[in-house]
Amino acid sequence: MNASIDFKQSPLPSKKLKQLLKKHPLFIYFVLAYAISWILIIPYALSEWGLLKGNFMVMYVLHTFGPSLAGLIMVWTLEGKEGLLQIWKRIKQVRAGWQWYLFILIGIPALIILGIFVQPGVTLDVKGVTPVLFASYPLTFIAVWFGGGPLGEEIGWRGFALPRLQLLFGPLKGTLLLGVLWCFWHLPDFLTESKGGGPGTTLLTFLPNFFMFFIMILALSIIFTWIFNHTRGSIFTAITAHASVNTPELTLVPLLLGIDMIGLHKALLIGFGVFALLVLIFTRVRLCYKPDQEGSSGLE
C-alpha cells in the first residue's frame, strides 16, 4: 500500500508553531521565561553550594534577561518586525509627567527607607554617608537599569505580559496573577545569597523569607501597574521604577546596621504594602486602567 503526502495541504511546522503561540501566548511566554532563566542560573546556584567549581556570575546576570528575551521571541513570532518596532517605541517612550519621575526616583527609595526604619534595632552607619555615595548613586542606578534585572525583566513582565493579562482578567486580577508568576520566577534565587539563601539555608529561614517576598512582590506589582497605566504603557518607566527598587539594595542598605535580607524583605513589604493599599483604595482597584489608551493594550 503506497501512501502519498500532500505537502500543499500540510501546514509547515512554523505555521503550526505560530498557531499554537497565538492560541496560548501567555502560557507559552511564562514557560519560556522560566525555562531560559532557570537553566541559566543553575551553574551559579550549584557553585554557591560548592557543587560546581568556577565563577558563574555572568550566568547569574544573564538569567535575569529570561523574561525580556522570552517576550521578544513571542512578539517576533506572533507579530514580526512590526511588533518589535512597537516594543522599541514603548521602550523609548520617556515622556511622562514630572510627578511620575519624582515618585519613581525619590518616592520608591523613600518607601524602602521608611519600611526599614520603622523596624526596631536598625541604625545608620553615618560614616558611610559620604559625597562619594551620592556621586556614585546615579552610576550604580544606570548599571542596575541595564544589567541588574530591570531591563532583562520588564520588556517581558510589563511589556508583553501585563497588557494581555489586564485585557483578559482586568487590572487587579491580571496584576496579581503576574505578581504570583513574577515571584515564583525568583525561586532559584532563594538558593543563593542574593535572596538570603546559600549554604546552610533551611526551611526555617526560607519559608518566612519567601512569604514576605511573595506579599511584597504582589504589592510592588500593584504599584508598577499603576505607574504603567498612568504612563500609557511605557516600558521605559517600568524599567526605571524597577531600577529604583533594586539600586538602594546595593547602595543604601549596606549602610544600615541590624538588618539582614529577611529584614530587608520585611521593610519592602511594609513600605510597598501600605502604599499599594492606598493605590487600590484611591483608584477603586481599577489602577487607572484604560483599555483603549495608546499603548495600553500592547496588542497593536
Least confident of 74-78, 116-120, 275-279: 116-120
pLDDT of residue 95: 93
276-287 mean pLDDT = 97
Using pLDDT thresholds of 50, 70 and 90, give the confidence band for residue 97. Answer: very high
Q: What does the pLDDT look like over 182-238, one tens digit per residue?
A: 999 999 999 898 888 878 788 888 898 999 999 999 999 999 999 999 999 999 999
Q: Is-above-0.85 flag for pTM?
A: yes
pLDDT of residue 253: 76
The residues, any chain, with a CB within 8 Å of residue 76's CB and separated by 6 or more, are 83, 84
Residue 256, beta-bridge partner list: 124
pLDDT of residue 75: 95
66-85 mean pLDDT = 95
Closest listed residue to residue 39, CA positions, set 3, 69, 83? 69
Q: Where are the alpha helices (DSSP H) in the chain?
A: 13-23, 25-48, 57-63, 66-91, 98-102, 108-117, 131-147, 150-154, 162-169, 171-185, 203-230, 235-251, 261-282
101-106 mean pLDDT = 97
Q: What does the pLDDT look like over 36-68, one tens digit per residue?
A: 999 999 999 999 998 999 999 999 999 999 999
Q: Does residue 112 contact residue 248 with C-beta atoms inside 8 Å?
A: yes
